[in-house]
Amino acid sequence: MTENNEHVHDHKHNHAHSGLRGKITLIVITSLLLIVAAIIEKYGNLSTLQLLFVYLVPYLIVGYGTLKEACEGIAGGDVFNEHFLMAVATIGSLCIGFLPGAETEYPEAVFVMLFFQVGELFESYAEGKSRDSISHLMDIRPDVANVERNGKIVTVSPQEVNVGETIVIRPGEKVPLDGVVVEGTSSLNTIALTGESMPRELSVNDEVMSGCINLTGVIRVKTTKSFGESTVSKIISLMENADASKSRSESFITRFARVYTPIVVIAALFLAVIPPLFSPSAFMESFPLWLHRALIFLVVSCPCALVISVPLTFFGGLGGASRRGILIKGSNYMDTLSKIGTVVFDKTGTLTRGEFAVEAVHSDRFNEQELLHLAAHVEHFSTHPIGEALRSAFPNEAHDGCPVTDVEEIAGHGIKANVAGRTVCVGNQKMMDSIGVKWHDCHRIGTIIHVAVDGEYAGHIVINDRIKEDSPEAIASLKRLGISKTVMLTGDRKEVAMDVAGKLGIDICHAELLPADKVEHVEALLSSVDKGKTLAFVGDGINDAPVLKRADVGIAMGGLGSDAAIEAADVVLMDDKPSKIAEAISISRRTIRIARENVWFAIGVKIAVLVLASVGLSTMWMAVFADVGVTVLAVFNAMRALRN
């Protein structure tokens, strides 16, 4: 994010606050002038025309912006908007007193404009709160980076740092770019990215994401991405564009208002003119009465509550989700999330850590530590994940001084080496067969690494991908939400996949799949999803990108997930916790529920007052409540979405 964008963001923020102060000032001044006008009307003994000029002062002060918007709408071809309705209704109220037998309605005209401004004040406040809930993400934007160049530390803009350069991050500083720790230990505050308050411990070779805050120690980080490709840039870009995609509910309200408003204006015109025509002799006597009803009809029918509150609800839902480390790329995905009936998972990196670890050691000749000691030394130079798992299980391997010579890697079999004078073979069953060693299988599920020492079988080590701590809770939470089907698709071996699925309580599991196979399975599942329900796919790898695109809603792991997966997904979980899926569904359902409450409440009240207005049982005050009052209540209700 450039400094210019930062300046624009701050300018908008300050402008919004000054706009709120301006509206409050306008409302206070108008209220005082309205009281003065009412006193003059009561004690001044003025003519109708003189009284009009008295009330025009507060009317024009509070209504100037609305009248200007109405004129601009007419000039721009957007005639039938809420400003036009307010202008017609209030100008009619100011003029009605000049008709024979009609009473003046100057205070009512000013009050309609005044309360319209009150409604807009609450709308602006609520929208500001919604934007604040999203703009907190802007706080994660780093300002500078301290990069090592020619033996010196130079402070530059993060955009000027190249991939592969080393940056120094001191305590209290933001991490400016994604990278890997090459020196130092520390802890990171990741709350802005993940919503998690617990600091994350860091040491050498750990990955760091831009946007986090370094808490304790000085660390040196080798950058792995440019600033434009870094986590912080992508998150801010996602959230800046999130409200560009309108939900079906939002789009419906916008279309509804465009059709609804001209119908209302024509209906009000008919209400004012048609009934008096049935008594031509008394036309001028009955016309003021019907005109008054038509003006009330216009005020009541203004669709502000719908046009304002529904988009505001979705915007609040997006902001509330972002505070929990759930980035939803548009309010249209709120609709889809709320209707999920099937959730399909990738396994590795999604439900499991994607990190191999030693799960069990079964030794025939040595104790467990000795067997691990020998295996870890043989795998000393290996870059394979299995080698890393063995070395991690015996961390002192690199420093115990035990000599390792004659290392030989046998493709598809394993590794052979001389460890402190012993010939040690570490590999699969093919290796054991090739050297004539009789081996035995293990009852445990996982990758079995056999070990032979000096031509004799020494035992085996079970290595497995570790299930994430919150994966069981993730599946259980989805079941509680009424998700009817959970599915796991993986390229892993069938027995490993079935073991993970069984431990987590997943309904259906398909294993040994290629990326194209995953798409086929998702296609089949989509065709069997219940009517009115949607399907979500959750993944993290490059090979998951096609499936993420094909699903009704794609959910990616944003912390360690691939760029391709994050780009293809509709929802990104910043802390890689699958339990956030249920949270995202709950937030979307609550947001949709609040939006529907506003729609039905607004329509219900308006219909009731419109019916009363058409038969002469409604007053202008009731009309003001049905318009502005309902809008204010709907806006307050919409603000509940922020508390997700």
Assign 483 a pLDDT band (cuts: 50, 70, 90): very high
DSSP 349: T
Mean pLDDT of 139-153: 82
- Residue 113 CA to residue 125 CA, distance in Å, equals 18
- Residue 255 CA to residue 248 CA, distance in Å, equals 10
**For the whole model, what pTM was predicted?**
0.67
Instruction: Report which of residues 573 and 292 the model is more confident about.
Output: 573
pLDDT tens digits for range 425-463: 998 888 899 999 999 888 888 778 899 999 999 999 988
For residue 420, what pLDDT is reported? Answer: 86
What's the per-residue H, E or C state across 148-183? EECCEEEEECHHHCCCCCEEEECCCCECCCCEEEEE
Mean pLDDT of 347-369: 84
Instruction: Report which of residues 583 and 191 the model is more confident about.
Output: 583
Q: What angle do CA 388, 435, 358 make, to 5 degrees?
A: 25
For residue 525, what pLDDT is reported? Answer: 93
pLDDT tens digits for range 496-547: 889 889 999 999 999 888 777 888 899 999 998 888 899 999 988 666 777 8
Assign 494 a pLDDT band (cuts: 50, 70, 90): confident
Please report how many Cα atoms fall inside a 13 Å half-sphere around the Cα of residue 189, on the Cβ side.
12
- Nearest-CA neighbor of 355 among 144, 202, 532, 576? 576
Residues 6+ apart with CB under 8 A from 562: 540, 541, 542, 544, 545
User: Which three-class secondary structure state does DSSP give residue 407?
Assistant: strand
pLDDT tens digits for range 601-633: 888 888 888 788 777 777 777 777 777 778 778
Sign of CA dihedral 119, 125, 126, 130: positive
For residue 197, what pLDDT is reported? Answer: 45
Identity of residue 526: L
Query: Is residue 240 over pLDDT 60?
Result: no
Query: Is residue 307 over pLDDT 70?
Result: no
Query: Is residue 198 over pLDDT 70?
Result: no
pLDDT tens digits for range 241-257: 544 444 555 556 556 66
pLDDT tens digits for range 337-351: 999 999 999 887 889
Q: What angle do CA 45, 48, 52 make, to 5 degrees?
A: 105
Residues 6+ apart with CB under 8 A from 606: 300, 301, 305, 626, 627, 630
- Residue 346 CA to residue 464 CA, distance in Å, equals 16
Q: Which active-site residues does the annotation give?
A: 346
List Cα–Cα distances, 99 to 102, 130, 280, 292, 349, in angstroms: 6, 47, 16, 11, 76
What's the per-residue H, E or C state across 527-575? HHCCCCCEEEEEECCHHHHHHHHHCCEEEEECCCCCHHHHHHCCEEECC
pLDDT tens digits for range 273-289: 888 888 777 777 788 88
List Cα–Cα distances, 623 to 92, 97, 115, 120, 377, in angstroms: 14, 19, 11, 17, 84
Residues 6+ apart with CB under 8 A from 557: 349, 350, 538, 539, 540, 565, 572, 573, 576
Residues 6+ apart with CB under 8 A from 418: 404, 405, 406, 424
> By mean pLDDT, which of 179-183, 187-191, 211-215, 348-352 is the weakest?
187-191
Instruction: Report residue 116 as tokens.
Output: 């319209």
- Nearest-CA neighbor of 109 among 162, 51, 68? 51
For residue 4, what pLDDT is reported? Answer: 43
User: Which three-class secondary structure state does DSSP give residue 429?
Assistant: helix
